[in-house]
Amino acid sequence: MGSIWEYVIIFLLAAVPWIEVAAVIPLGIIRGLSSTYVVIVAFLGNLSTIILLVYLFDKIKDFWVRKKGEQKTSGKRLVRAKRIWNKYGLPGLSLLGPIFIGIHIAAFIGLTLGATRNWTLLWMTSSLALWSIVFGVAAHYGLLTFKMLF
């Protein structure tokens, strides 16, 4: 099952904006921790920073503008996010964002492009839950298959 500290580390790693559940969940499962607990803890860790981002968006945006100046109108991730936004809206950005640009960046860009806090939080939470389960199942059965073959 693993010690409580291992799950605390999973939670903290998942909460770091540039480390996504796509990395944390497989690492926890490979470490030998319970797949179910890893998925739940990683989900909650990542969700905690999404909630903070959504509700502190205005302060974060103001800080970012003061620090970096006005937002870039180009950049690989921003261009990709705007293309997803224009084609699929907030649901598409939420579902595709974690894979292509990261869920934190997707939430920030969605809010920047005019999505409301409540809809952003709903869609990001749904997307995060879906991807957490997908990565958990893939890592669990992938590890079982690997052990069986070798």
* Per-residue pLDDT tens digits of the chain, which is 150 residues long: 679 999 999 999 999 988 889 999 999 999 999 999 999 999 999 999 999 999 998 888 788 778 877 655 567 877 877 788 888 899 998 998 888 889 998 998 899 888 999 999 999 999 999 999 999 999 999 999 999 998
Secondary structure letter of residue 31 according to DSSP: T
Amino acid identity, position 62:
D
- What pTM value is reported for the model? 0.86
Which residue range is the domain that position 17 belongs to? 4-149
Task: Kindly report the length of the chain.
Answer: 150
Please tell me the total count of domains within the chain: 1
